[in-house]
Copies of this chain bind each other. A is one copy, B any other.
Amino acid sequence: MAYDKAAVRQIIDRVRADKRTALTAPEGKQICDAYGIAVPQEGVAHSAAEASALAGKMGGAVVLKIVSPDILHKTEAGGVLVGLKSADEVAKGYDTILANAKKYKADARIVGVQVQQMLGQGQEVIVGAVTDPSFGKLVAFGLGGVLVEVLKDVTFRLAPATTGDALSMLDGIAAAEMLKGVRGAEPVNREALAGLIVRVSELVNDFPEIAEMDLNPVFATAKGAVAADVRIVCDFAPAEPRWRPSQQEIVTAMNRIMKPKSVAVIGASAEDGKIGNSVMKNLINGGYKGQILPIHPKASEILGYKAYPSVKDVPGEIDVAVFAIPAKFVAGALVECGEKKIPGAVLIPSGFAETGNVEGQKEIQAIGRKYNVRLMGPNIYGFYYTHSNLCATFCTAYDVKGSVALSSQSGGIGMAIIGFSRSAKMGVSAIVGLGNKSDIDEDDLLTFFEQDDNTQVIAQHCEDLKDGRAFAEVARRVSKKKPVIVLKAGRTAAGAKAASSHTAALAGNDKVYEDVLAQSGVIRARSLRDLLDFARGVPVLPTPKGENVVVITGAGGSGVLLSDACVDNGLKLMAMPSDLDAAFRKFIPPFGAAGNPVDITGGEPPTTYKNTVKLGLSDPRIHSLILGYWHTIITPPMVFARLIVEVKREMEAQGIRKPMVASLAGDVQVEEAAEYLYLHGVPAYAYSTEIPVAVLGAKYRWARGAGLL
């Protein structure tokens, strides 16, 4: 769109020169005009014919007002007429007002009659823009009115917003139906309203000085959207943006850090119980094949590896230095790393911002920037990169290779990730601790994992995003290729308070996170278990080719709960075509229920499961299957599990791959069956109807966000 940026620049410069921050109403109106944001139209007519013509251009009802320097109390003078519609009404109104004015004050100087578009029709909405400390410029949308305020029914997107973003905002409020025309009301013009949102978002993006903007109310009708009131506030001293290297620089550095040829351990120790000892043992016992370089002021050898007093004494390149020394020695050792041109430092030590030592953290940040050393941490457990057999951590080793990369801001959550992964046999490519995030953060990891062929899914726990804007931009790109799952802790006010006492991080408004993460194609996990279950289940599922989900169940009761879970997780139970219904009925007892769920009933032999699942996989109209198994003597758990895997393989041999998850109801033997199924590509869960569906739902959310559905 062609905007008159020069006009806006001029107004904002004047505001700055005036040392004001708030714009006047006429200034706001001028800015709206410059960006094509509709405000009530008005004009001054000097004849009845001119008034009619002006009103005709505006469309709809108008208000007429006398314009005279000698008439202050217009209404008293009979100088205001409202709700005039036809050309004739307007013309007559013009004459009436002039006559009234003459009668009121015979010698009044008459400039003319103002013709103003009359608002108050249509749906009242609010469009606004705010500046978030993490995400920067955001555009907001909601309905107008007190009730909406009470219900906090408002939605946000990063600015600038695309037309698609803006249209999604109209559907993104709970009261979305109101815009579609309820009880005979006309639906609003969605394109016009979305256009107005886009213009606001582009305005605040083009002029970062605009800190806040409120169009409240905007009257949205079938014809258009007009902002009745405009409020704009500037901030001429914005916070400095966080430093960001280029994507290429990130890739180069992170590849050396995550897949190093040589690792220095600063503070390596031969003494049991020391962190520098645990790191050494994990590197050695983890099976790392690169060079291990213990750094120690005195020792000449540690655990069989030649030791050096400083990284600077090491001949050849070092890709990453793991710090296992107290906080007070970090800065000095980091300068040496810089001088040695080591691209990455893994800062395990605590004692920085999280304990109040903000200056200490700033110091190491400055060193990192000066020497171009990327910093992981401080205050972390380190990281794992399984495909290099690399355990650069003081925690227990982890070696189940797979395609999920996980990260956590908190060390405790990191340990939960490791424990769960081991227990649930989840194959991972990497586990990374981010701690205080003095430098490397979630978006650096996303940029690395995006191009890491060993990683197919990225799951991250975070309490804040230091640079939400950068995260969102990278996530939007990466999530098109690989699912990105995020557990944002500090969702609630209480949680956010705990987060700030824990990491000195200001937790953002959760609704902003909610909307921006969705806009970025991120799958948001609601709980730690969800994060872990999604990370484990999503990568083994193939991408669905469509929205049609079918439930096949031996337990009718599971079928009901699985159906509930489908609705909860935004999955669409396919309306069963009659020929397919008949085809299923051939395999199930006459009192079983076809339709969807397909209820094969509980007492059935393995062949019934086999036939129905095979049909479900082979019919191209069905895109995903949810299985409900009921443990019986006739079809014991492992018999069921093996036959499902067999059918799956048979279909794969024919080139058919569909997502399939299972809920297993039965005695403890179903646990073995669940494990077997998972290890063969069918996420399966004992004693739960909701987890399998949530996992499938997560895959669908991703596929939709990535534009694959």
Contact = CB atoms under 8 A, between A and B. Distances in A.
Interface of A: 143, 145-151, 174-175, 177-178, 182-183, 185, 273, 278, 350-351, 354-356, 395-396, 408-413, 415-416, 418-420, 422-423, 461, 463, 489-499, 501-503, 527-529, 532, 551, 553-568, 573, 590-591, 593, 595, 597, 599, 602-603, 628, 630-631, 633, 664-671, 686-691
Given A410-B555, A423-B671, A528-B561, A599 B502 contact: yes
Contact of A355 (B273, B591, B666): B591
A352 B149 CA distance: 53
A528 to B, nearest CB: 5
A529 B691 contact: yes
A628 B489 CA distance: 15
B665 A558 contact: no
A128 to B, nearest CB: 18
Residue from A183, A409, A495, A599 having most chain B Cβ neighbours under 10 A: A495
A415 B631 contact: yes
Given A492-B563, A688-B527, A691-B529, A412 B498 contact: no
Given A527-B690, A567-B495, A690-B527, A557 B422 contact: no
Contacts of A502: 556-557, 559-560, 593, 599
B561 A489 contact: yes
A496 B591 CA distance: 19
A558 B666 contact: no
A529 B563 CA distance: 16
A502 B555 CA distance: 9
B492 A564 contact: yes
Contacts of A628: 412
A666 B415 contact: yes
A147 B419 contact: no
B410 A557 contact: yes
How many copies of this chain? Answer: 2
Contact of A501 (B143, B499, B564, B595): B595
A412 B630 contact: yes
Given A493-B567, A691-B529, A419 B501 contact: no
Contacts of A690: 527-529
Given A555-B412, A630-B411, A687-B420, A182 B150 contact: yes
A413 to B, nearest CB: 4
A568 B416 CA distance: 21
Residue from A147, A498, A562 having most chain B Cβ neighbours under 10 A: A498
A494 B566 contact: yes
Given A182-B150, A567-B495, A666-B416, A557 B411 contact: yes
B688 A412 contact: no
Closest 6 interchain pairs by CB?
A410-B557, A412-B555, A355-B591, A502-B556, A495-B564, A492-B567
Nearest to A352: B591
A354 to B, nearest CB: 7
Contact of A555 (B273, B411, B532, B555): B411
A151 B687 CA distance: 34
Contacts of A183: 146, 149
Contacts of A419: 631, 665-671, 686-687
Nearest to A691: B529
Given A356-B591, A494-B567, A554 B147 contact: no
25 contacts: A145-B147, A149-B182, A149-B183, A350-B603, A410-B557, A411-B602, A412-B556, A416-B687, A419-B667, A419-B670, A423-B671, A489-B560, A490-B564, A491-B567, A492-B564, A492-B568, A494-B573, A495-B561, A495-B564, A498-B560, A498-B563, A501-B556, A501-B595, A501-B597, A501-B599
Contacts of A557: 408-413, 461, 463, 489, 502
A568 to B, nearest CB: 7
Contacts of A410: 555-558, 560
B529 A687 contact: yes
Contacts of A670: 419
A377 to B, nearest CB: 14
A597 B489 CA distance: 14
Contact of A687 (B147, B532, B669): B532
B527 A689 contact: yes
B147 A418 contact: no
A628 B415 CA distance: 12
Given A498-B597, A501-B599, 5 more contacts: A419-B667, A492-B563, A498-B560, A527-B565, A529-B691
Given A412-B558, A412-B665, A563-B492, A688 B182 contact: no
Residue from A183, A556, A631, A668 having most chain B Cβ neighbours under 10 A: A556
A384 to B, nearest CB: 13
Contacts of A422: 667-668
A597 B412 CA distance: 15
Contacts of A553: 412
Contacts of A573: 494
A442 to B, nearest CB: 14
